[in-house]
Amino acid sequence: MQKKWPTVTETEVDGRMVEVAVRVSLRARNYRLSLPHAGGPVLTVPNHGRWQEAQAFLNRQRNWLAARLERAAKPVSFKRGAVIPLRGVDHRIVATGKVRGRVEVLEVDGELTLQVPGEVAHRARRLTDWLKTEAQADLEKRVAVHARRLGVTYTSVSMRSQATRWGSCSATGRLNFNWRLIMAPSFVLDYVAAHEVAHLVEMNHSDAFWDTVAKTLPSMNRGRSWLKAHGRQLMVYGIEEQ
C-alpha cells in the first residue's frame, strides 16, 4: 500500500508559524530542508521514510530556517515606483496613464525609467511580456554566437519562468532560459547562453563540459560567480507580495 504524505506542514520559527511544503522523492535517501530562490521552505522526504521522523528533523532545523528566512530576498512586484534592473542597470517603473502603447525606456530628470502603459490590473503583465521579448532577442543572439563557435545546431530558444533554474537543454536541441536573465548584466546572460549551448556537446557537468564552456566563453567564471552571489535576488523580481 502506498504511503500517504501531507503536502504541507507548519513549524514555529521565532514565535510565528511558517508553512513548509512537503515533497516526496523516490531518489532521496535522507530528509532535507531547503529554501528555493522563490517561494517558501520545502521539506524533501524519502518515500521510505516516516512522518514522525520527518517532523523531528524539521524541528531540529528551525534555527537554520530562521537564519535563512532572515537573509532571504524579499519579493519585488512590478508596481509603479518600484526599481528593477534591466541588463544590470536600475530603472524605475513609471505608469504612463495610457491604456495602449508599448513599454519604453526613457531618462527622466537624470533617472532611467521604464514607461509602462495599461490599466493597473494589467501593468505588471505588460512589463513582464516586454521583458520576456527583450530576453528572447538577447538570448537568441548569444546562442547563435556560441553555437557557431562550437559547431553545433539547436532547434529552438524559449523563455520560461523557472523558480530555481536559469536554463536547460534537451536532447533534441531545445534551449530554455529564465526570462529574468534580462535583468542581470549582459555578461551573465551570455554565460548562461554559453552554458546551455555547451550542453549540446556534453550533456553533463564533467570537466569536458566546463572545458567546452570555456572554449566559447573564456570569461565564463565572471558570469558564473555573479549568479552565485546575486541569483537569489534576481529570482524574486516580478513576484507578487503575499
Q: What is the pLDDT of residues 143-166, one digit of tens each?
A: 999 999 999 999 999 999 877 789
Per-residue pLDDT at 221: 97
pLDDT at residue 169 tops 70 = yes
Residue 44's DSSP bridge partners are: 23, 32
- As a whole number of angstroms, the distance between CA 19 and CA 4 comes to 19
Q: CB neighbours (10 Å) of residue 81?
A: 8
E runs forming strands in the chain: 8-13, 16-25, 32-34, 42-46, 83-86, 89-95, 104-108, 111-116, 156-160, 167-169, 174-178
Percentage above 70 pLDDT, the chain: 95
Mean pLDDT of 203-231: 95
Please tell me the number of Cα atoms within 13 Å of 203 on its side-chain side: 8
Q: What is the DSSP letter of 184?
A: S
Higher pLDDT, 91 or 16: 91
Per-residue pLDDT at 240: 57
pLDDT at residue 80 tops 90 = yes
SS3 of 168, please?
strand
Report residue 84's pLDDT band, with 50, 70 and 90 as the boundaries: very high
Per-residue pLDDT at 241: 42
Q: How far is CA 128 from CA 98, 136, 160, 194, in A?
A: 17, 12, 12, 24
What are the backbone dihedrals phi and psi of residue 57, each rounded to the nearest 5 degrees, phi first? Answer: -65, -45
| Mean pLDDT over each residue of the chain, to the nearest integer | 91
pTM for this prediction: 0.76
- As a whole number of angstroms, the distance between CA 58 and CA 54 comes to 6
